[in-house]
Amino acid sequence: MTKDFTKVYDENARLKEENTKLKAELKGKDELLFAYESVRAPVNPLYAKNVTFKEFIRHIIKVHCWGIEEIDGFDTQDKAVELGLIEAHIATEEDVDPEFDEYEVGDTIYRFSDMLKKETDDV
């Protein structure tokens, strides 16, 4: 019986050691996979911005350079809104310049989203 117990004990020790090695190997692979996915993941702000800008530029080139359509500011504006490059804003008194009657208080106007704002942008 002691011989059987020793075999089981030795096999158990061997399996524990193998399990420890496999866990370490898996952890290393998980860390590599996480590092790779975090660079390409849509939650990565730089990756998301890059994809958004590429899509907008492709739209401009396809519609306005290669297309037979006239340049349509509303189409471009709609695409920019869809991609989150600009955001709708209800005009307030601060937004309205009395010298220009382009829009009035309560009109929907558009501003650059945080993605496109410079730190010094007022608009």
Instruction: State pLDDT tens for residues 11-68.
Output: 888 888 888 887 777 777 777 666 666 555 555 667 777 888 888 888 888 887 787 6
Q: Is the pLDDT of residue 7 over 60?
A: yes
Contact predicate 73/100, CB 8 Å = no
Contact predicate 109/103, CB 8 Å = yes
DSSP letter, residue 87: E
Q: Please name the helix (run of DSSP H) or strand (run of DSSP E) that holds residue 70, with its range, or none.
A: none
Question: Which position has the token pair 């939650």?
Answer: 43
The Cα 75–Cα 115 span in angstroms is 20
Q: Compute the half-sphere exposure of residue 59: CA atoms within 13 Å on the CB side of its CA.
A: 17
Model's pTM, two decimal places?
Answer: 0.52
Residue type, position 123, single letter: V
123 confidence band (pLDDT: 50, 70, 90) = very low
